[in-house]
Amino acid sequence: MQTTLKTSVRFDGIGLHSGKPVTMVVRPAPSGRGITFRRTDIEVGNALVPARWNAVVPSKLCTLLRNDAGAEVSTVEHIMAALAGCGVTNALIDIDGPEAPIMDGSSAPFVDGILSVGLVDQDGPTVVLEILETVEVRDGDVVARLSPSNEMRIDFDIDFADAAIGRQSMSLNMANGSFVRELSHCRTFCRQSDVDAMRDNGLALGGTLENAVVIDGDTVVSPGGFRTADEAVRHKMLDALGDLALAGAPILGRYTGIRAGHAMTNKLLRKLFATDGAWRFVQCDASTARRLPGVGVRARDIPVYA
């Protein structure tokens, strides 16, 4: 069984890096189509950008997709996490620019919109990416790993010199709507010095204290502070789910991230698919399907925050 939206839902916001207004409409799609972005501002050439791991190109601070014709969509990780966390397997995403709206810096606005229009089951088997052997990538003390498991689980560990964050760890089984309850509301974060440097280089022009948690040493600059004491590691897990969703199917396996980011997770997927015998796409039975992200999600499960 596959899943799409009952009807379209629209999101209006600004691009984090460009600061320009952007409209994104998530539409139902037929069974078996997967997730695809469509650049509505491109009139000539291929405007379809697949949400797949092999369409990712190097980019600073976000996940950037590019098709063979050069059409791009960046900052897709939060909407991809929302779709994966709600169990949506098929959707066509119209967007009128090269960057997804940042909204409040989390996936909660997307989850709320998706669940407000509702989901519909579709014909077609439930296909998962089953991890058969452990695959790992490293860069110094940065690690990303996928290992066999009978559930989808994300383990994450971060360690920042900034006292406002410090060291944080979390492990979460992604079944039974746990993404919506535990991760969806957690916002992106950055250092004040990084914000200043990015703006000096023409980036983060749409960044505000309302769509990112800005820290400066032991101080949280953003009004209201963190939504949870460990919001930083929870957001890293949100990002990981969004980047892993580019595998093309829910993953049946355990992801471990140690100080990892978007680039390392994509590097991990590339190594996984290049490793014979480490994975397989398989139709799963009803019992396994019930343990996948998105099963049992409810709009009222989205945390209430100030």
Q: With b meaning 16 or more CB within 10 Å and e meaning fewer, what string describes 163-185?
A: ebbeebebebebbbbbbbbbbbb
- Closest by alpha carbon to 157, among 77, 260, 81? 260
The side-by-side arrangement of strands in the sheet containing 142-147 is 135-139, 142-147, 254-258, 153-159, 167-173
**Distance (Å, rounded) from C-alpha 97 to C-alpha 232?**
28
Is 78 an active-site residue? no
Q: Which two tokens stand for residue 178?
A: 């746990």
Listing DSSP states for 213-242 in one string gives EEEETTEE-STT--SSTTHHHHHHHHHHHH
**Distance (Å, rounded) from C-alpha 118 to C-alpha 265?**
30
- Residue pair 115/299 in contact (Cβ under 8 Å)? The answer is yes
Q: Which two tokens stand for residue 125?
A: 């088997």
Q: Which two tokens stand for residue 136?
A: 């790992």
Q: Which two tokens stand for residue 173?
A: 């089984």
Maximum Cα interatomic distance, the chain, rounded to a whole number of Å: 52
Cα→Cα distances 14→31, 204, 262, Å: 31, 11, 21
Collapse the DSSP code of 129 into the 3-class scheme (helix H, G, I; strand E, B; otherwise coil) and give the result.
strand
Question: Cα dihedral angle (245, 158, 100, 174), rounded to 10 degrees?
Answer: 30
Q: Spot the catalytic one: 17, 78, 185, 262.
A: 262
| Catalytic center residues | 262
